[in-house]
Structure 1
Amino acid sequence: MDEPEPAAAAAAEVTQLLQRAAAGDRAAADRAFSLLYDELRRQARRRLWQSGEVSALDTTGLVHEVYLRLQAGAPRDFPDRRHFLSYAARAMRGVVVDAIRARQAQRRGGEFERVTLGTGVLESVAVADDAEVLRVHESLDALAEVDERLARVVELRYFCGMTEAEVAACLEVTERTVRRDWQKARLILLTSLA
């Protein structure tokens, strides 16, 4: 009997761990997170690189914020790696948007803020145009009402910095479909943001 390929075996292990985590097994959730940690760091690094600044602390901080959001609240049901990474993409988007909002509040005299565990994780991220990131974030809900997949493509490309191939794998579509969706979504967003 042939041995399964290492990638297939790892994916199967992650799937099993995620199923156990959904049943409330925190150790399984931690193990799944650790198996996907390097991939999450790559996503975070790309996201922060797109923002104009990358540092190991910021990358690590972004991934750890995703972990904290995952651990907060009830266990979530991720049937497989793809669903988990999709959630991580949304969580990264939320962390980046929250950091921008906090930075904007600071500019408006909000220097006195409540200190929490996650405060300051992304303060050094220099987003070229904070207002644009917030407008895109807010426009995604409207785009999702028109076409959910288009919104997911934007989220994964714009907020997580995934390549077309990575988005295609995550959404289980072809790269050509991702290219078309990306172009269509950009046109819709440009029209709505104008």
Structure 2
Amino acid sequence: MTMLYFVPTPIGNLKDITYRSVEVLKAVNLILAEDTRVSGKLLKNYDIQTPMLAYHQHNEHAFTDKIIERLKNNEDIALITDAGTPGISDPGFLLSRACVENQLQMTCLPGATAFVPAIVTSGLPNDKFVFEGFLPPKKGRQKRLQILKDESRSMVFYESPYKVLKTLKDFKSTFGGERLMSVSREISKLYEETQHGSIDEILELYTDQKPKGEFVIIVKGLD
């Protein structure tokens, strides 16, 4: 039966891909990739010669119907992103919804997702947490933060190195400088690190030290 596969890819170390993921990527008719240049390095490393097609946030609305038609024509297709699990702060939702609407089969393979190792090593409560991903860059940002002000669960955020300081300052204004947090960057890469402390302490650290790499930020919920 025709299948759409959501295939997680390494978030750092290329060895963090499962045997099954490699097998699927070799077996499908087409791979949808967020950036074919980035994914090309991964495919070359594992001698995967399956054709690729770019599928990203700028074209997914236009291409989703075409992908559904290819699935209806009995093509097996895999969706990958630059790093991590498709659909988690990356393209994937539109295609998943379209498969449900068209009663097409899909499955998501287990694999790399940045927030899991970050919250495990945060030292903060992780029995319950809320995943926020990237905050709105401008419109709706303060409104979202105010909604989270009284959140009792640990909160998980993604952030780029260019906006980390702004986000930390916003956190201080919203949650207070004494609120505990952790910041993980370069997960599974050579310079992986996780910093623990108060918002004030982490803000001071990255004021003195230029932020590098993609960040996963965990903020403790309100006691």
Tell me which interval the TM-score lies in, with the shorter structure as reference length: 0.3 to 0.5
Q: Which has the higher helix share?
A: 1
> Larger Rg: 1 or 2?
2
TM-score by length of structure 2 reads 0.29
